[in-house]
Chain A
Amino acid sequence: MNAPMISYTYSSYLAIAVVAALDSVFGGITSVINKNFDLKIFATGFFGNAILAILLTILGQRLNVDIYLAAIVVFVGRMFVNLAIIRRYFVDKWSRKFEKIKNSRTKKEQTAETKVEEN
């Protein structure tokens, strides 16, 4: 991996920004599923949340309070909720698909049986 490195002092800020951005991504996928996706909201949330999280972390370090813990709890909690919604959507989709295949198969068998009876 040839990625550049940053000083360890700033890596906690970058980490919280990455978590915020990931949360936005999952939120975006959920909104696509719910059919209320808006690019403006998504983009501003993506960068805005990341920057806000970094600022909160800096503030927390100035005040000697681990505010980044609160940010992580909120972001990761939301991530899990969004992931649950996404999972439900896909499970529903697939189970419907399987049912369709099953139905078509039984229909085919029925038609085959009727054909046999006719013969």
Chain B
Amino acid sequence: MQNKKVVAIVLGVMCFALTAGICIQIRTVQATNSSVSNNYEENNLRAEVLRYKERYDNKVEDLANAEEELEKERESATKNDTALKEKEEDILEGNKIIGLTEVTGPGVIVTLSDSKKDASSSLDPSSLLVHDTDVLSVINELKNAGAEAISINDQRIIPTTGIICGGNIIDINGEKVGAPFEIKAIGLPEQLAALDRPGGYLELLRSYSVEANLEKSNNITIPKYTGTITYEYAKAIED
């Protein structure tokens, strides 16, 4: 009888110890994300991002198709009416100015790429990189020199475009754009080429050993803006 009691007590203590150990361990592991579960979560997130990217690409394609259709409809509708045709031309002119049509013409191509120097060779490694402010300054100077249409790595610059630092990339029109930056501008090439004047911004960039080149060209094509423009607050004043 005594023996049985001892057996029961010892087994009970052992069962308690084992369950307590397992419970504490599970709770601890749950509270501290282990690297395995972290990796798992990261992979899931990555897959989700890819899925969204695919969906986004599909939507962009749909949008392009719809715009093409709209263009065709407009063309067929205005074929036989001179008044409508004038309006159509107004629309086209307006689209050209706000960046909703592909444009081509003479201009310059500016390429800015990060320095090939080793980062450890500079006191300030950050100065070896092309920053959002550099791109912004170049765009500003091009606009000042009379550029009519500008794109950075095929992102059209429109009146509502923002150029923001996004870590190791810059954010243009909400799209991520990385170095090297190819800035295309349409305008009078000789005037735009003044960007490369002595003491100009490109020379300043070169002094930081950033690679900056300017090239004149007679045939530059700048793509249209692919996003949507929404004006919610600005209202036209009617006379």
Interface residues of A (CB under 8 A from B): 1, 3-8, 11, 14-15, 17-18, 21-22, 25, 39, 43, 46-47
In the bound complex, what is the Cα–Cα distance between A15 and B32 (angstroms)? 14
- Residues facing A in B11-46 (CB within 8 A) are 11, 14, 17-18, 20-29, 31-32
Which 10 A-B pairs have CB atoms at the shortest separation, nearest pair first?
A: A3-B23, A11-B28, A3-B27, A8-B32, A18-B21, A21-B18, A14-B25, A43-B10, A5-B28, A3-B24
In the bound complex, what is the Cα–Cα distance between A6 and B32 (angstroms)? 10
Given contacts A1-B27, A3-B27, A43-B10, contact A11 B32 (CB under 8 A): yes
10 A-B pairs within 8 Å (CB atoms) are namely: A1-B23, A3-B23, A6-B24, A11-B32, A14-B21, A15-B25, A21-B14, A21-B21, A39-B6, A47-B14
Interface residues of B (CB under 8 A from A): 6-7, 10-11, 14, 17-18, 20-29, 31-32
In the bound complex, what is the Cα–Cα distance between A17 and B26 (angstroms)? 13
Known: A6-B28, A15-B25, A39-B10. 13 other contacts (CB 8 A): A1-B27, A3-B24, A4-B24, A4-B27, A8-B32, A11-B29, A14-B25, A14-B28, A18-B25, A22-B18, A39-B11, A43-B10, A47-B14
Q: Are A43 and B22 in contact (CB under 8 A)?
A: no
In the bound complex, what is the Cα–Cα distance between A22 and B22 (angstroms)? 10
Given contacts A14-B21, A18-B22, contact A5 B27 (CB under 8 A): yes
Question: Could you tell me the distance in whole angstroms from the C-beta of B90 to the nearest C-beta in chain A?
Answer: 68
